[in-house]
Chains A and B, each alone.
Chain A
């Protein structure tokens, strides 16, 4: 009796947090962390100034329509391409299937703006290929690449792997019971595909589509380079061309609200999806449909063509440019160091914050679980908000913090500290963490969720304190998830452009920034090497985190 009550005591002590005071502190710190986003959102309450009125009356509707058209085009293209390829790889047998399974993720490695540079070099009006075609065929003209349609094509090329991965995962993880039942009831394999599989994929498609929509909304480099005016470029225009930071924040707030609505929809749909994907310990095996020989080759060609157009051609062209160019510049080394330093800092902080949050969530179950999940959702908001909006908010908050510190120092009669927030690395790291925290949270959550709770309780019974459990149980077992989180955030920061462009400290350039500047200055050959390095770094998670590699939680 005494043993049981002592065990219950230990469990209660360990599993529950000591006091609610900690929750309050955590809430306060988390709110401070998310301050830049809250700052931007609250700026909607201020009345629009003259400049914003002028902007709304001239260009705003145009920008909005362009953005919406772009999103519709990109989402439909990605759903079509990603959905078809995902189903084919998951359910059909065709030559090269095992290679294409992971290879079709490769286009995700290259950021959209780099693919944009490559295709501009290849297909722009004055480029060799179109000129040759024009000389040869006279009236035949390749459609203008620097247009809305061109930007849509480039974004589809880079974003379809998101839909593809979600569809593939959903199809593979689903237990075969439903399809087996359909077969038993007499459906042919194709009929099963059409009437059972596809409808079941709707949640995955919807989630993928929303993710693609968010990424399209956040894109800056591609649309700026192609001269397509979207809501993101509008923020830059209001801020730097028309010179009104308040108007830019106001505009950014509407952009952020739009993104948050989309994110909310995505959360809802994620919940629906779990209905159909029961997690089983046994890996579900689906029998593959064997199409006829020519059908199989058609599918293989489709996959090959997609890979060629979306990845091999642009990267190959960049290699060719790099070979032609002046060669390795000494500044590239400092660019690499800067990018690595920034990405390393952001990913470490993001994973640290995520790990702390997830561990505290795990230990504080029961009544308080909604607090932690709401907090997690709020922390994840930054992912859907475009980078430039996060930057605007960060600068606004930082300016006031600096003014506050100065004011405090003045009233105390002491010299203000020489360190300041605006233009510092801290601000850039903060904005980066805010932007990519969702990625780290997701990866670390996957890692820790896999640890059965019985292990926690066994450790408590054996007399370990909470801290020992964290170090000796969670950390080693969740290591794949933690490392995946570090890697994914690292790569995202290397590719990030708008926030870095705005917030970087003096003299601090990253690969993405210089590649953008070179390309904008019509020096694609000099942009080649930085772009290739970014793509190479982007390949790392795809190659290291492949589903199918043993012992890795994807």
Chain B
């Protein structure tokens, strides 16, 4: 036991990644990426070390580590974060015919700094018994006083809400967005807390009637092992907002190669693996996300939700407005 402890310590001490090892920094939860990484290890023989942390923490860590960073691949859950990482000079461009074929142009950075792996929509989850569909229209409608005390939200520190706000800034400008934010904060049924699943559970419990959630959480809850989650997800319905306007807010989870990575070939191999048909189908079936690869059908649940108009705002723009969005949310009092 003592030798194992010493071995762990010595291994953790050394900074260099061994040749057949890949260091992945992921802001996506371990359970969502670990199966894919294990499969990659099994097929390619390359060992993968995974570190998970919140995206803000990961980016700051990369900045502090600088040239000595052992990071090879960066898996982030939001285009805005990728743009921030790109602006900070933390990514290096990659290109390969496999990537170009697998990912449509608007879902990857033009210079190849990052590529999208999956898509998700940020939609309304609402209580089917208490809300009529014709009351729902677009995101701006959430500031309407009719939703007073009926809106649940998660914290403004969460990147999904920040990206949505950034998109609103891009579409509607600073003033209208500020009014929208104040209206929403006034409608909160309770102070922002918890994750997307918590919002759905609160709707099911009657705490509030409507909330913003990412589509894959609903899929996850409907197929959860926890009966409480399954029941909660069954009691809500989904609405894809702004169908008559610009469309529902979309975002991606993606991958990029760290600028100081020493394992370019292995990093590229991992990204191409995650864009392969099998991985894309796994994302679609097990994670309830929309795949990016053309020709891969989304899973049954997503097909059931139907097709819908998607906001085609270039994801780079979301990144440009991200910091402004955070400060706007702070000013509006969204905790």
Contact = CB atoms under 8 A, between A and B. Distances in A.
Interface string B5-17: 1001100111110
Contact of B204 (A59, A126, A406): A126
Interface stretch (B64-72, B264-272, B294-302, B309-317): B64-72
Nearest to B88: A243
Contacts of A54: 327, 330
Interface residues of A, number: 50
B13 A517 contact: no
Interface stretch (B44-52, B89-97, B107-115, B243-251): B44-52
B323 A243 contact: yes
Contacts of B210: none
Interface of B is mostly: helix
Nearest to A226: B193
Given A326-B225, A520-B195, A237 B16 contact: no
A239 interface: yes
B195 A521 contact: yes
Contact of B60 (A229, A245, A418): A245
Q: Tell which of A241, A423, A517 has the most Cβ of chain B within 10 Å.
A: A241
B49 A506 contact: yes
B191 A126 contact: no
A227 B49 contact: no
Interface stretch (A337-345, A379-387, A440-448): A337-345
Interface string A14-43: 000000000000000000000000000000
Nearest to A506: B51
Interface in A184-237: 226-227, 229, 237
A4 B326 CA distance: 78
Contacts of B197: 522
A146 B152 CA distance: 14
A55 B228 CA distance: 39
A51 B158 CA distance: 18
A136 B202 CA distance: 19
A98 interface: no
Nearest to A148: B191
A227 B190 CA distance: 11
B335 A227 contact: yes
Contacts of A340: 5
Contacts of A326: 225
Chain A CB within 10 Å — which of B25, B193, B335 has the most? B193
B8 A337 contact: yes
A420 B198 contact: no
B157 interface: yes
Nearest to B331: A58
Contacts of A245: 60, 63-64
B4 A424 contact: no
B203 to A, nearest CB: 10
- Majority DSSP secondary structure for residues of A touching B: helix
Nearest to A57: B331
B102 interface: no
Interface string A496-511: 0000011001111000
A304 B64 CA distance: 50
A131 interface: yes
Contact of B5 (A125, A341, A522): A341
A55 B323 CA distance: 13
B327 A506 contact: no
A147 B193 CA distance: 10
A59 B330 contact: yes
Contacts of A507: 12, 23, 49-51
B141 interface: no
Nearest to A524: B226
A100 B266 CA distance: 60
B9 A341 contact: yes
A395 B225 contact: no
B281 interface: no
**Which of A147, A229, A341 has the most CB atoms of chain B within a 10 A radius of its CB?**
A341
Contact of A508 (B12, B56, B57): B12
A426 interface: yes
A242 interface: yes
A144 interface: yes
A502 B68 CA distance: 17
A146 B205 contact: no
B61 interface: yes
Contacts of B23: 506-507
Contact of A525 (B5, B61, B67, B226): B226
Interface string A241-272: 11101000000000000000000000000000
A337 B65 contact: no
A319 B172 CA distance: 51
Nearest to A331: B30
A424 B13 contact: yes
B192 interface: yes
A399 B64 contact: yes
Contact of A425 (B12, B194, B198, B228): B12
B232 interface: yes
B70 A242 contact: no
B70 to A, nearest CB: 6
A242 B326 contact: yes
Interface in A419-437: 419-420, 422-426
Contacts of A425: 9, 12-13
A366 B190 CA distance: 62
7 contacts: A227-B155, A240-B60, A241-B56, A243-B323, A419-B15, A423-B61, A507-B49
